[in-house]
Amino acid sequence: MARLMKPRRAGVARIVAATGHSWRGLQACWRNEAAFRLEVVLFAPLAMVACAVQASGVERALLLASLMLVLIVELLNSGIEAAIDRIGTEYHPLSGLAKDLGSAAVTLSLLLGAIVWGCILL
């Protein structure tokens, strides 16, 4: 039987390949998504504040996790948008809905971050 997929890597080779894929994804998002660039630029000083503020270890972890979550959700949203754009450029209600839902997820992650930071710092 003909093999339709290329052979999968295993062990360390798989980890190295996965790391390369992840790095390329981060680079692509940085190049193509202005919102991601802005969030990364805001992440750096806020991460320093999270590490410098008088807070317990759990509070510090929550501050940093809320920042990371925004980046993670933005990456997923960008992936959804890329997949929808790959399907076609004509408007379709389900394509619009998928993009709107991704955008809503980013908005909720930003709101969650603001709530976490407000609860801990205020």
- Tell me which residues are annotated as active site: 74
Say if CB 102 and CB 80 are below 8 A apart: yes
